[in-house]
Structure 1
Amino acid sequence: MNLLRKLLFPFAILYGFITFLRNYLYDKGILKSYSVDIPVIAVGNLNFGGTGKTPQIEYLIRLLSPNYKVATLSRGYKRKSEGFILADANANAETLGDEPFQYFKKFPTIQVAVDADRRNGIEQLLKQKTKPEIILLDDAFQHRKVKAGFYILLTAYDDLFCDDYILPTGNLRESRNGAKRANLIIVTKCPANSTELQQENIKKKLGIDLPIFFSCVSYDDKVYNEETTLAVSEVKLIQKILLAGIAKPRPFFEFLQADTDEIMTFSDHHHFSESEILSIKSRAIDKIIVTTEKDFVRLDAKILRKQLFYLPIKSQFLSNQETFDQTILNYVGTCTRNR
């Protein structure tokens, strides 16, 4: 923790009190939450960025969409539009935001919507001719104006919420006690070889009586663009540009990097300017560019399609995947039967 953050500790106390009061008013029913009678699953975290919400939402889409009409609802972070938007053929990363547009491109059978006002977003989805049977709320753990039926809290292996502090001293959006609202916790971005003992130690450290699961990032064995694919084993051996505008890009770089590669790092959800595109192109003469899926949807059509590739990732459970799946399916089935 740097000196400036330590000096801001009094403001962290004030911010913590404000978030505590807000949560208390919602918990006691003084402030009202909106709910609906279809399954609503919220995926979120206590701290800012880098916990792997996107691959977890995609995991749920793969689990649920074969048997249910699924919709995702995000606020559309850093999009250049306002209000409710339901993705259609005219959608792009600027109107939806990069993550929702990624869902739209990868999963054409689901509905993808954005709205900073989640209540309005849900109401608009339920007015559609084809109504969703399940709504997945992306990054909505603190959005208490809407009450989801099931809450999944994510915390990264190397940045556990129990080790963090409230803003601005740390990166927590609210007190660690907020974790008690979750139905289950997933510790994300674990080393693939994490032992059962290490997992048990983390459970003790978190100190919360909830089901806790552990997942890692699973990288694809190919990189892709609109025209072709290349094997990762081949890509690792050639000189290239590695580019990322995500919260914690180091694992992505380490997975693909060769000694001769050039690394280009941008801020999370970065919108690339014309001058930056020109700079990328000038550095990538006679080289391929490999980037993340989120960056690809923002760079697509701005760089030669035969030159730009992306590396897909998935969330993969280290163990107890069947238990997690069944927990979600039981919630959805019970909620649906109770309608």
Structure 2
Amino acid sequence: MKPKRKIKIYYGLLPLACLYRLVVSIRNWMFDRGILHSQSFPIPVICVGNISVGGTGKTPHTEYLIRLLRKDYQVAVLSRGYKRKSEGFVLATPETTAEAIGDEPYQMAHKFPDIYVAVDRNRCHGISQLTDGHTAPGVRVIVLDDAFQHRYVKPGLTILLIDYNRPIHLDRMLPAGRLREPESGKKRADIIIVSKCPAQLSEAEQEALRNAIAPLPCQQLYFTTLAYGRLQPLFSAEPEKRLEEIRKDEHILLVTGIASPAAIIDKLSDYTQFITPSTFPDHHDFDATDMKLIMEAFKKLPEGKRFIVTTEKDAARLITHPLLDEALKPYIYVLPVEVAFLNEEEHLFNQNIIEYVRKNSRNSSFFKS
């Protein structure tokens, strides 16, 4: 079992964190007392979110729900569309760019062309658009991506993700730590998932985490890990490449603009020790300087033994980037990631999700023919 990573806390910023905690707590209190109102909708709405800033694996878990439900229901995913260059409600089409809806919605729209993907900062407005009978005909279940703090919507089912590498009970409020709200906010979740766990997480540590998280009797707790697929060429017609096919003497330039690339580095390190990270902030918008740095870093690697690995989210921004050097394109591979449940509990999780959707569908005709 790999050790937990050290959690960095900026203790000098704790006074500001206390002030931020007060503001967020007052807001939550106003929703809890009904001073601020949450809106319910006559359609199954599943919220996937977190309490902490940074990557907890929301997109892979959202995609898990898509795969689970899309065979029987017309699914719509509604996201904020972080860092998109558009305003208001946007429904993705085959021609929609990542700039218009954001990298993660773009990724999902292209991986699952049979679902609806939309973005709207105002989630209530976005849901209303998706359920107006014209914008997204036939939609039967909506998955809200990263909406745990958007309390103006009252989801029918809420899934809270907690990063194994940065558990919320050891963290602090922004800006001293990465918590968006106090740990007590976890009580709003129906399902809690500890994500990014080691695949061989021991029963003893699972029990320790369960005790630290202390779920309510009505809450379900699961543990998931990241499962990486075959390397897929982004531009070339080369076949997919199994990770086991990476030679020990091959050099990888890892280009990422995600919150935490450590898990990918650890995984690739199982196959080669020659990994050069070229890391950028989460949702980074690559500019000319960045492209030059990537090209220079790649040129330093030995010819005939080098290639580039990037994430699905970063590929969404790179695939149409006008400044990406043509000479790099044949060497770029995308590493897809999915989630896998520990303890063989995916069947229990799946059953709970499907049961919720069935019970809250207005009639049996919601099933796709």
Q: Return the TM-score normalized by structure 2.
A: 0.87
Deviation at 1:32, TM superposition (A): 1.1
Secondary structure at the counterpart of residue 284 of structure 1: helix
217-226 vs 98-107, which moves further: 217-226
Letter in 1 for 2:66: I
* Equivalence map 1:243-322=2 (5 Å): 243-257=255-269, 258-285=272-299, 286=303, 287-302=306-321, 303=324, 304=326, 305-319=329-343, 320-322=345-347
Among candidates 315, 333, 337, match of residue 358 of structure 2: 333
**What does the per-residue CA deviation read over 1:193-218, in whole Å, with 9 as the maximum and x for residues that have no partner?**
01222211110011222211000000
329-338 vs 315-324, which moves further: 329-338
Letter in 2 for 1:61: I
252-261 vs 44-53, which moves further: 252-261
Give aligned-pair identity as a percent.
43
Cα distance in 1, alignment partners of residues 205 and 104 from structure 2:
32
Cα distance in 1, alignment partners of residues 204 and 8 from structure 2:
32
Q: Is the contact between residue 125 and residue 131 of structure 1 (CA under 8 Å) also seen in structure 2?
A: no
Deviation at 1:240, TM superposition (A): 2.9
**What does the per-residue CA deviation read over 1:203-244, in whole Å, with 9 as the maximum and x for residues that have no partner?**
001122221100000011434324232222223532231111
Cα distance in 2, alignment partners of residues 230 and 249 from structure 1:
20
Letter in 2 for 1:168: P
**What does the per-residue CA deviation read over 1:125-169, in whole Å, with 9 as the maximum and x for residues that have no partner?**
122151411110000000011111110000011211111112222
C-alpha spacing 1:337/1:123, structure 2 compared with 1 (3 Å): closer
* Equivalence map 1:1-339=2 (5 Å): 5-127=10-132, 128-209=135-216, 210-226=219-235, 227-228=237-238, 229-237=240-248, 238-257=250-269, 258-285=272-299, 286=303, 287-302=306-321, 303=324, 304=326, 305-319=329-343, 320-337=345-362
Cα distance in 1, alignment partners of residues 83 and 261 from structure 2:
19
C-alpha spacing 1:335/1:265, structure 2 compared with 1 (3 Å): same
Cα distance in 1, alignment partners of residues 86 and 332 from structure 2:
26
Letter in 1 for 2:311: T
Deviation at 1:2, TM superposition (A): 6.6
Runs of 4+ in 1 over 4 A off after TM superposition: none
Task: Indicate the RMSD between aligned Cα atoms, in angstroms.
Answer: 1.8
Cα distance in 2, alignment partners of residues 17 and 308 from structure 1:
46
Cα distance in 2, alignment partners of residues 2 and 165 from structure 1:
10
223-232 vs 10-19, which moves further: 223-232
Q: Return the TM-score normalized by structure 1.
A: 0.94
